[in-house]
Copies of this chain bind each other. A is one copy, B any other.
């Protein structure tokens, strides 16, 4: 029973996601569908890339990932499928899969003549994912390409005295997710967020005075910041406005 994950910016109020799932289950009745998120901000390829990159490796080998954040749907951008190790992906060729390692394989998907120009998620990507789930090989889905659009997330720089990163994601709790790996943060070093002193790197957001901004190594593997408070430490939107 192949797992197919779904990540889109379609939201959950409309029927778009359900129409994709209907096509997946019509083509691959045994597939196990798992939502990653449908709340990517509309057209925000970078946010989609961040969340998919966090998630995909935790699923077992054999998983297929359908990712559709696709502001250019119906334009000349290609539709692609990719394989890396035991994981396969279908997505628009707009940088959404830029986290894949260099040895990943890519093919360009054919666009069926009857596909709606505004809903490739249902008419292009879902049929391709269903084919993969029922035994099709990556190469059977289209012609190999070697130039997928590459737009990786920004990486931190150094000005000699300091490592300078940026906030690449803000989560439901108002947590500011930076792109700084903790191994670049030496013990005792001072951390600043938009000019505000945060103090040294802590173990968790509970390790700070209530209401204080705290930096810690987040479960995504980089340095995160959050306004703390022991009883209800993760007030939504607590931090975003002031930083």
Binding site for B on A (CB under 8 A): 1, 3, 5, 9-16, 18-19, 21-23, 25-26, 29, 32-40, 42-44, 51-52, 54-55, 58-60, 71-75, 116-119, 122-123, 171-173, 203-207, 216-219, 224, 229-236
Contact = CB atoms under 8 A, between A and B. Distances in A.
State the number of copies, please: 3
Contacts of A15: 36-37, 51-52, 54-55
Contacts of A44: 232
Contact of A34 (B3, B21, B58, B207): B21
A235 B18 contact: no
Interface on chain A toward B: helix, strand, loop, or mixed SS? loop
B43 A14 contact: no
List 3 tightest A-B contacts by C-beta distance, closest first: A74-B204, A119-B219, A22-B58
A118 B218 contact: yes
A206 to B, nearest CB: 5
A43 B207 CA distance: 16
Given A42-B236, A118-B205, A171 B22 contact: no
Contacts of A39: 12-13
A59 to B, nearest CB: 4
Contacts of A217: 116
A43 B21 CA distance: 25
Contacts of A11: 171-172
Contact of A12 (B12, B75, B203, B224): B12
Contacts of A35: 12, 18
Nearest to A224: B118
B234 A116 contact: no
A181 B101 CA distance: 46
Contacts of A52: 15
Given A58-B23, A122-B219, A13 B171 contact: yes
Contacts of A118: 204-205, 216, 218-219, 224
B216 A25 contact: no
Given A206-B72, A231-B43, A235-B42, A18 B5 contact: yes
